[in-house]
Amino acid sequence: MSDFRDLAVAGIASSLVLLTACGKSSSSPGTGDGPLAVDSGGSTSVGLLDSSAAGMGGDDSSGLVDSGTSGLGDGAIDVSITESVDGPSGCGLVGAPTGVLSNQTITVGSQARTYVLSVPRSYDPSTPLALVFGWHGHGGTGNQARQSFVIEPAAAGGAIFVYPDGLGGAGNTDWDLTATGIDVALFDALASYLAGSYCIDRNRIFSTGLSAGAYFTNVLGCYRGDVLRAIAPVAGGPPSAATCAGHVGAWVAHASNDDLVDFTTGGIATRDFWISRNGCSTTLAPVAVSPSDCVEYQGCLPDLPVVWCVHTEGHSWPSMANCSDAGVCFDAGPAVWAFFVRFK
């Protein structure tokens, strides 16, 4: 887990290139790590797989109240992903923008992809932070995922978050679930680019997602288990791959009354996939931290826990705000972060 397999960035003349592109505008350090809303046109070009254009989901500007003026500027960086080991590190680079950076663009193959990047205002380029990917459900956007997941307050400045936008597609998925597909390539490109732009702890890269985003998180946990440290799929289904790379810890949540993704073939199958993958027994124990509705399987491979959370909020991201009478409810955002923070 100490390296980026298949993720090195080539073609960056020096760290000063990143410094120039990322340091055009940065926010002043502020008190706390509350979100900032920034509209900027930062652009990065990554040479990878070719893909056909597809429709982009609509944006949602409601929800978290943001303020601030930092942005990536309108400069572009040309990089390419090669099959190698560690790419350049962003640790020590000063001037990288902080706050919530919306409308960011990275080109993967011939397709421009957009994402929201959230960097704590207290960011210190000498202190490695975790990197958390958040993948939205069908028809959603990265901004909507950020609004509904609500993990950042619990992280309290301990991580950088990135919320990509899907390209849409047939059926109930916005993400290409194949190992060589454009969205796995998008993950590779963003992980490599962000680790070269910011001080990222490469042993603490995580992924979470809802519904279609949970399916994709499970796929990444399999195909990129040598890059990710842990995953948290909510209301998804297991990967169909016969073989996986590396191993990840898994926090799995699913509603017993989910009317879109079947509880048995989706939730239980996802749980059982990671139980088997991580060599766990069938012995259960309460989780060390809330929510009390979750249980943890025992006997797993060292430092590869599997947590299983069942609720009754239907096909949704669990939240006390959506809790129905007499239902099993909890806030998934803090619970996901409590799981991620276990990994050092």
Q: What pLDDT, in 10s, does the model give residues 163-216?
A: 999 997 655 568 999 999 999 999 999 999 999 999 999 999 999 999 999 999
Cα 252 from chain centroid? 15
Over the stretch 56-109, which tens digit does the pLDDT of each residue have? 233 333 334 333 323 332 223 233 333 222 567 999 999 999 999 999 999 998
Angle between helix axes 212-223 and 269-277 (nearest 10 degrees) is 10
Element (H, E) at 219: helix 212-223
List C-alpha distances in Å: 306 to 47, 169, 257, 293.
36, 31, 22, 14
Contact 312, 320 (CB under 8 A): no
Distances (CA, A) of 112 to 52, 77, 186, 258: 11, 13, 10, 34
Cβ proximity of 258 and 237 under 8 Å: no
Q: What's residue 281's pLDDT?
A: 97
Alpha-carbon gap, residue 131 to 201, rounded angstroms: 7
- Predicted TM-score (pTM) of the model is 0.77
The domains found in the chain, sorted by start residue, are 8-340 (3.40.50.1820)
Provide the pLDDT for residue 62: 31
Alpha carbon distance 34, 119 (integer Å): 10
Tokens of 338: 């409590």
Tell me how far CA of residue 305 lies from CA of 101, 142, 222, 291, 327, in angstroms. 33, 28, 15, 16, 27
